[in-house]
Amino acid sequence: MKIMREHHFTEFVIRINDNKWMGITTHVRLAQAQQRIGLSSSIIIAEPNSLINWDMDRNLNFSVLKEMKLQLYSFNASRLNDTWMDTYQATSLNQIFEDIVLSCDEKQSAKLRKSFLLRSQKTLIFTSLLQLLTPDNKLLSWPNLKLLHNLPAQGHVPIWFKSLEHSIFFSDQSTLIRISVAPLLSPIMLNVNDSPNLY
């Protein structure tokens, strides 16, 4: 098991540094995972607690990266370009849902994560809270969001959005303002003694 894991780690490092088709494919799959779990900054330099509770059985690159993060491998962001970063520099939906599930039981937590993870292709654009707010810092309704982003009119309000509405409704308004407009801090690199640096 250990040998197989180390093999996956080595292969991942090779693929992520490759400038040809293999590397492009790896980056695409990681970018897809980044959107799926609602990260507004690069998944490569994300903190382990942003990944640990999410599972994507059909995305091996994400599974390997998550395992490497849990083993405290360090990644260098010097080669990342702006395409890895969301244009909405605000609190990520990933961070918000990690806070929401703290008050949920195991069954509710799993249901919420599944709803968010399996959201439709067109709603993968939503990765930060700022995208869901009006200019005066109020949460848009689901119908208004669909209208604003030209999403299909049919369909029920998804579980993940209902949970977000409930959480914000019962939060103090000043807290919402602080969350939505606070800029992201510069990424802090994870440095662990004797752990390899990638890139």
CA 96, CA 163: separation in Å to the nearest integer?
10
| φ, ψ dihedrals at 111, nearest 5° | -65, -40
Whether pTM exceeds 0.85: no
Residue 186: predicted pLDDT: 32
pLDDT in tens, 115-152: 999 999 989 989 988 889 888 888 999 999 999 988 88
pLDDT digits (tens, 9 = 90+) for 41-81: 889 888 899 999 999 988 999 999 999 999 888 776 655 55
Confidence bin at 183 (pLDDT 50/70/90): very low
Out of 3-17, 20-34, 155-169, give the one with best mean pLDDT. 20-34
CA dist 44 and 150 (Å) reads: 30
When computed from its CA atoms, the radius of gyration of the chain, rounded to whole angstroms, is 18
Supply 92's token pair. Answer: 């990520």
